[in-house]
Structure formats: C-alpha cells, structure tokens
Chains A and B, each alone.
Chain A
Amino acid sequence: MSAFPNSADLLHVLPELIWCVFGALLMLLQPLTQSRRFLTIVAVMGAILGVCGNFYSVHNTGTAFSGLIAADRFSIFFSHLIGLIAIMVILGANSYLERERLADAEFYALVLFATAGMGVLASAQELLTAFIGLEMSSISSYILAGYRRDVLKSGESSMKYFLLGSFATAFFLYGIALVYGATGTTNLLRMDITAGAESTSILLKLGLALILIGLGFKVAAAPFQIWTPDVYEGAPTPVTALFSAGPKAATFALLLRIFADVHAATQFWFYAFWILAALTMFAGNLGALLQTNVKRMLAYSSIAHAGYILVAFAAVTKLSADTNIGAGPAYAAVAFYLLSYALVKVGAFTIVSQFGGAGEKHLSLDDYAGLGERQPFVAAALSLFLLSLLGLPITAGFFGKFYVFKAAVDAHLIWLAVLLAANSIIGAYYYIRLIVIMYMRDPIPEVAATTPIRFPVVVNVVLAIAVIGTLWLGILPNYALNYLLKPGLINDSQSQITQMK
C-alpha cells in the first residue's frame, strides 16, 4: 500500500472534490466579473456536477483511503440528498442575495464547502474523517449564519451558533478520545473487533455518551436544542433552509453508521434515545405552539422532526440489540424520512425568504393572511409543504412518518409510538393554523397595499422540485424505498468480519 492515494480513492470522493474545487473557483472568479447570473450558473453547475460525481461510486462500492471513507450505497444516497439540498439552496438564494445586496460568490462558495463537509460526514467510516467533515460543514455554517453582517440579529445568530457549536464539538472530540482509549482505534469498523471483551468498559460507555451529546447538539435534540430557534431566526432565510436540512441529514447519517458498525453503541444507547426522542418531540411541538414568527415556528417544527427521527433511532437500537435479523427497515425509515423532510423544509424556507420582502420584514404569521387569494400558487405550495410536515397522505411526510411509526411498533416501543401520534396531533394545530390564516383571513392593510411578490423563475424551479418530489414520494415511495431496503446498504462490521475471515 503506497502512502499516496490512488485514483480509485480519489474517484470515490469525487463529489466532495468537485464541490470544493467549485467553491474555490467561485472565489477566484468573483473579482473578475460583476455578473451575478454568471456566478450563480457556476455555483449551480458545481453542485450538479458534484452529484454527477457519484457515478464512479455507484458502480464501484467499497471503501476508500484504507477505510477512512465508505463508498457504500448508504453514502451515495446521502451524497445525492445533500447535493440536491445544495442545488435548491443556491437556486433559491440567488434573488434573495440580490434583494439584500449581499455578495454572492462567497455565499455560494461557503454553501459548497459546507456541502462537501456534509458529504464527508455522511460517508465517514472513521471518527477522524467524521470530525473533519463535521467541522468543514460547521465552520462554513458559522460564517453563513452571520452573512447579513449589518443586521444585529444575524451577527447574534452567528455568535450563538459558533459558541454552542464549538462547545458541542469539544464534547464530540472528548468522546472520540475516550473511545480511542477503550478500543485503541478510531475506525468504526475495527472497533468491535479490537474491543472484544472490553466492549462493556466504563471508558467506552462514557466516550459513547459524550459522542451522543456532541452529535445531539448538531441535530438539535432536546435538551441540547436551545440554540436552534435563535440561530434559525437570525440567519438569512436561505441559510436557514440549508441548516434545517443539510447538517441534520449528514449527522443522522453518521449516527446510523455508528449504529451499524459499533455493536456496543446499539446496546448502550437505547434508553438515551428513548428519552431524547420523547423530550425532543415535546420540546419542538410545544415550543412551536407559542410562536408568532414563521421562521421560529418552522425552527421549532424542525426540532420536533428531529424527535420523530430519533424515535426511529430508538427502534434501530432495540431491533439490533434484540434480534439477529437486523434493523434494515428502520434504517430505511430514517433515510426516507430525511429525504422527504429535506425537500419540504427547503421548499418552505424558500417561500419564506421570498415572501419576507426587503430586510425580511414580513415574517409574522399575520403577514400571511390572505395569501391564498393574493398568490394562489405560492399558498398552495406552502400548504402542501405544511401538510407534508404534518404527515397527511399523498405527501412524502405521510410515508416518512408511517415507516418511522412502523419501525417503532416493530421494535415493540408502543409507548414511544403513542407519543409520536400524540405529538403529530399537537403539530397539526400550528401547521393548520398557518393554512387557515392564509386562506380564511383578509390580509392586513399594510400587506394588502403592496403588490403581490413576483417569484423569479429559478425560485419557481426550486418550488417545483420540492412540490414534485413531495408528491412523487407521497404517491410512489417504492423507488426510493427499494433502494434503501436492498441488503448491503451499509458496510457494517459483520460483513467486514466475514471478509477478514
């Protein structure tokens, strides 16, 4: 084995490489051109080419860089998902940046760097790569959160995100250090093999607990969710769209991979996930009830959705610990949920970013009164997204929630399933409230005086992607599900052990 990576290794991380190269390219191009359109085209091209860069991994699954990166179907799925989020965010941000008079090259570059980081995070098979990916995406996110730097709220959001994010990273790292001390490796696949009889040691348990705390911060699981509403509200709305979808998907992907590979984690984390899931669902839904600001309401709703996903995680732990058949359907449930959720959240935040108007002034629920009459298509799209978040049939959210519910029942987590259903009912209140305001109330005079906001073509493209995706996954979920349910989704430790023998 040579120390220099061979071409196969590089091809396995082609999407991340393309995203990084285009990010750097955008910064180089910026002084040379004044054209916002040109820079946007370059950025979108970069994001799309990055997704296309998966072609090699699709045909050659395996591992790269001596096991640092996994190029299995699981990471390919997340690479596509994260790339799709990046494409939608860049397209949706274009007119926003112009309206707020913000520089766009750096913005796109940071989005692409963050995307590359998330890609690394989702395919990391070693805690070292996971750490690098996490920090790539986090550091870009800190800057993006404060991108409207003249606005007090934006700077505040950036600072809160930075301080709490770094705090969480320190916990994550300390956890890695302890796990390393217990097992002698940071490679997820080798942990089970080397840990052996020691796998129940206190050091390993403490390390896993700290890793869970660190990642819990990143996915906004209660009681580590306090920063979420503030950061989401203060950040520019296209950035909020990215935050609510991207890092969450990538971090959940890493957690799933830790489950698949490290047996000690599945045994140890069950109760933690049960409690986290219950707390997070209630914290998100009860918090959302009180909100009058749309961005904050959607922020709380994303906490609630993290809670629903954590229910599936509790099911995964239970299923992998109790039975030998594995937790394949529960893994698929998580991945499918993240896909359906990301589409909807990016779509909804894109509408909010357009509708906010210059300086993001129109963000309260009352500003949406009469939208159904004034802008019927936008109102219909937003209603569809809200119904999908609520989990009504023929939307993607229905199947997402259905499979999570099914996983919980399969794992005999009846109480958690009951809590999930109860929370969906609480959620119905604030989602439907917004729909009612849009369709049944007259617009407030101040808003009625303004002309309806014309959405640029690219934003309509984003909304079309989100709407079609939501309906498609809601009516024909099989295509995505079959991909996720086929055996061998993740390189797990079992297959690795058999290979070694």
Chain B
Amino acid sequence: MVPTNYYLILSAIIFGLGVVAFIFKRNVITIFMSIELMLNAVNLAFVAFSQAKHQSDGQVFVLFVIVVAAAEAAVGLGIIILMQRVRHSLNVERVDLLKL
C-alpha cells in the first residue's frame, strides 16, 4: 500500500501549483482552473487522511467540497461571461477601473 505521506506530499504540491498559477496567470479562465486545482488538492488530502484513520468523515467532507465547488463554478463562469461581454477580453490586467 502507498504510505499516507506520499498522498499528502502530492496534495501539497498540487495545492502549491494552484497558488503559483493563481498568482502568475493572466487569463481569468486559467486562474479559475487553478482555484479548482487547489480544491482538488484539498480533496486528495481529505481522502488520504480519511483512509489513514479508517474513518469516513473526511470522505463525506469531500462530497460537500465537490458540491460547493460546482455551485461556485456556476457563479464564477457567469461572472467570467459578464466580463467577456462588457470588456471583450479575458485578461485580468485589463480589469483596472478600480484602484487607489
């Protein structure tokens, strides 16, 4: 069996990649995908812990995360479509009306 630590390290790497992509990418769809990546890293961690502890709590939590992520995606994609419609661009650097 694969030790739990391996899963956790993998999950940390995926989460880290998500954070890096969130910060450095400029296309709003890619940024949105990086958030999904982070959420899936969380799910992996939950399942791994759940398996290690022989409990089902963590797996239940994952189901909730998936449902909420779906709701968030529905709203998020709506917001992205709004942005495309009014600005004709998906580049977040062009979203700069509000600043100091």
Contacts and interface: CB of A to CB of B under 8 A. Distances in A.
Contact of A128 (B35, B64, B86, B98): B64
A131 interface: yes
B47 to A, nearest CB: 9
A158 B41 contact: no
A152 B86 contact: yes
B2 interface: no
Contacts of A366: none
Interface in B25-50: 28, 31-32, 35, 38-39, 41-42, 45-46, 48-49
Contact of A152 (B15, B41, B92, B97): B97
Chain B's interface: helix, strand, loop or mixed, by majority?
helix
Nearest to B78: A143
A184 B53 CA distance: 7
A149, A181, A185 — most chain B CB neighbours (10 Å)? A181
B39 A173 contact: yes
Interface stretch (A23-31, A47-55, A159-167, A266-274): A159-167
Contacts of A316: none
Interface centre among A142, A155, A160, A186 (most CB of B within 10 A): A155
A56 interface: no
A174 B41 contact: yes
B83 interface: yes
Contacts of B71: 135, 139
Contacts of B87: 152, 155
Contact of A173 (B53, B65, B82): B65
A157 B79 CA distance: 10
A362 interface: no
A170 B35 contact: yes
Interface string B56-85: 011011001100100110011011101100
A233 B100 CA distance: 11
A180 interface: yes
Contacts of B42: 170, 173-174, 176-177
B39 A159 contact: no
A229 B49 CA distance: 39
Contacts, number: 114
Of B72, B79, B82, most A-chain CB atoms within 10 Å: B79
A178 interface: yes
A156 interface: yes
Contact of B35 (A152, A166, A180): A166
A119 interface: no
A291 to B, nearest CB: 8
A142 B75 contact: yes
Contacts of A131: 64-65, 68
Contacts of B79: 142, 146, 155, 158-159, 162
Nearest to A175: B42
B98 A177 contact: no
A142 B71 CA distance: 12
9 contacts: A139-B71, A142-B75, A142-B79, A153-B98, A157-B98, A159-B79, A159-B80, A163-B92, A167-B22
Interface of B: 8, 11, 15, 18, 22, 28, 31-32, 35, 38-39, 41-42, 45-46, 48-49, 52-53, 55, 57-58, 60-61, 64-65, 68, 71-72, 75-76, 78-80, 82-83, 86-87, 92, 95, 97-100
The 4 closest A-B pairs by CB, nearest first: A170-B38, A177-B45, A230-B98, A181-B49
